[in-house]
Amino acid sequence: MTLKSVARKVLPAGARHFLYHSGAWNWKENIRLARLYSRISPKPPGSWIDFEGLTVRINDAQNFFILCKDLFVHHVYRFESKRPDPRILDCGGNIGMSVLYFKHLYPSARITTFEPDPAIFPYLKDNIARNRLQYVGVVNAAVSGKEGTLAFFSDALYSSCLADLTQSPPPGWTRYEVPCVRLSPYLNEQVDLLKMNIEGAECEVITECAGRLRQIREIIIEYHHLPGLERNLHRILTILNDQGFEYLINDLDPQTNPGSEPPFRLNKDSRYFLLIYARRLD
């Protein structure tokens, strides 16, 4: 019998709630994460790391650790498919950890992943090839509200932004010219999951394809509240509601998202992230 099952019988709900949020339940998880961090933190960019039966080429140890924690430990992208070969659109593939996670869930999944960053795209391709993933299409372009070529700023790790979304990229970021594609042409068939982590472009993309969102069964969007970006969470939620989706909002955890922790502050320099999980009701 587990600690949780015993507590359900002998502790009142308030005490169980306190212990859960204090981290007392998660000591095994914390040990696992500490061991993972100590193993990967010394690894330089370009290293190959074995993890969960996978071999992953990393561009940054901290980025890899956060992705492992959020995806493979906390399962923030987990979803339940009605078929063994779900159709998945992965907007913002980064080094490919989301693709690897989806293939871990559903080996026969049919995935299209989009990644515009010239510094990161080679890692995505290497990780797909090294792990011999099938039925994965890779698009070296940004998902945007319009097609064409746009300026793009990147830190070559995990943060980036299309130039038309910000007037002042952080110092040291590299500027590129990248192709942009609209999402709506990819919604010409039933999609089981749309995952979107596109560094501030989420509202314009959801707006562009709003008329086809009913093709999608479940959606996971990372909303970015960052300096210089338009505040448009309300617009995203309105579109989801209008298109027949129910949703919930999660703020990840303090390590990934310290900006959402109390005491709360909102000003022009506030930085936080939210996960919007939405499911079509009909």
| Residue located via tokens 């869930």 | 105
Please report whether residue 119 resides in a domain. yes
Distance CA 106, CA 208 (A): 29
249 within a domain of the structure (yes/no): yes
Residue positions counted in the chain: 282
Residue 10 forms part of a structural domain: no
In a domain, 56, yes or no: no
Angstrom distance (rounded) from CA 249 to CA 84: 27
User: pLDDT at position 17, please?
Assistant: 46
Domain carrying residue 247: 73-280
Contacts of residue 225, defined as CB under 8 A and 6 or more positions apart, other chains included, come to: 231, 233, 259, 270, 271, 272, 273, 274
pLDDT, residue 200, reads 85
State the virtual CA torsion across 168, 173, 176, 178 in degrees, nearest 10. Answer: -80
Q: Considering the entire predicted model, what is its pTM?
A: 0.88
Determine the 3-state secondary structure of 215 from DSSP: helix
Does 47 reside within a domain? no
In a domain, 54, yes or no: no
Cβ proximity of 114 and 92 under 8 Å: yes
Q: Which residues pair with 114 in a beta bridge?
A: 91, 139
Q: Looking at residue 33, what is its pLDDT?
A: 85
Rounded Cα gap, residues 57 and 123, in angstroms: 6
How many alpha carbons fall within 13 Å on the CB side of residue 110? 10
Domain annotation covers residue 43: no
Tokens of 135: 């039925």
Per the domain annotation, does 29 fall within a domain?
no
Supply 174's token pair: 């590299």
CA angle 49, 55, 56 (to 5 degrees): 65
The CATH number covering residue 186 comes to 3.40.50.150
Give how many domains the chain has, as a whole number: 1
Q: Residue 253: its pLDDT value, please?
A: 85
| DSSP single-letter state for residue 110 | E
Which residue's entry shows tokens 């370009």? 46
Give the pLDDT of residue 1. Answer: 47
The two beta strands, 216-225 and 191-196, are parallel
The encoded tokens of residue 257 equal 């998202």
One digit per residue, the tens of pLDDT, for the chain of length 282 reads: 454 554 455 445 554 444 444 454 577 788 888 888 999 999 999 999 999 999 999 999 999 999 999 999 999 999 999 999 999 999 999 999 999 999 999 999 999 999 999 999 999 999 999 999 999 999 999 999 999 998 888 887 777 787 666 656 777 888 899 999 999 999 999 999 999 999 889 999 999 999 999 999 999 999 998 887 889 999 999 999 999 999 999 998 887 888 888 898 888 888 899 999 999 998
